[in-house]
Amino acid sequence: MSNFLENQNWRYATKKFDATKKIATEDLNTLKEAIRLSSSSYGLQPYKVIIVENPELRAKIQPAAWGQSQIVDASHLIVFANETQLQNENIDNYINNISNTRNIPVEALSGYADFMKSKLVTLSDEAKSIWTAKQTYLALGNLLNAAAELKIDVTPMEGFVPEQVNEILGLDKLGLNTSLIATLGYRHEGDDTQHYKKVRKSEEELFITL
């Protein structure tokens, strides 16, 4: 746990990446697996994770992300895209996955499937999109923690125009929406913000014990 806290103090939202440094394939695979293993409500993982390697696409995304340099300078760009339409089919696919993974008859899971459908499929389109977008933040948390352990910098971003990123990546056609962007790589030695003291609320201000 001491290493975990040390890593949390080490990490920060990198403002300037070293464009000459790239993440090794083995480390990238570790980060992908950390994302894949993330928790999500019901275990549904109602999102896709898009790794944008194409430099031309990244250059197009940069203006839609307020011109931030991390978009093009970081080793890797990850887009978390939530599913905007949650239908019976999504839940049925998940139930089949449980059945195959745990060797449980689908019929034995019908009650759980019906419960999820009653809680999720009946939501309005707006409520569905909000709920699925929230799930991507759980995946981002796993990415941040795993990257810090590997001493890989990550900058999570909400500073972008989702509609523009969706158009660039063709996400609308896939029923997806850009909820989060994360840039991954290695901090530039000239990024002064790496030397700033971390600013957080004190224990007394943050926690309430009842």
Strand (E) or helix (H) holding 185:
strand 176-185
At residue 2, the pLDDT reads 74
The answer to whether residues 19 and 25 touch, using CB atoms and an 8 Å cutoff, is no
Q: Where are the domains of the chain?
A: 2-83+126-189, 87-122
Domain 2-83+126-189, CATH: 3.40.109.10
Longest dimension (CA), the chain: 59
At residue 101, the pLDDT reads 98
Encode the chain (210 residues) as per-residue pLDDT tens digits: 779 999 999 999 999 999 999 999 999 999 999 999 999 999 999 999 999 999 999 999 999 999 999 999 999 999 999 999 999 999 999 999 999 999 999 999 999 999 999 999 999 999 999 999 999 999 999 999 999 999 999 999 999 999 999 999 999 999 999 999 999 999 999 999 999 999 999 999 999 999
DSSP annotation string for 117-162: IIIIITS-HHHHHHHHHHHHHHHHHHHHHHHHHTT-EEEEE--S-H
161 φ/ψ angles, rounded to the nearest 5 degrees: -100, 105
For residue 57 the two structure tokens come to: 């696409």
Q: Which residues pair with 80 in a beta bridge?
A: 49, 180
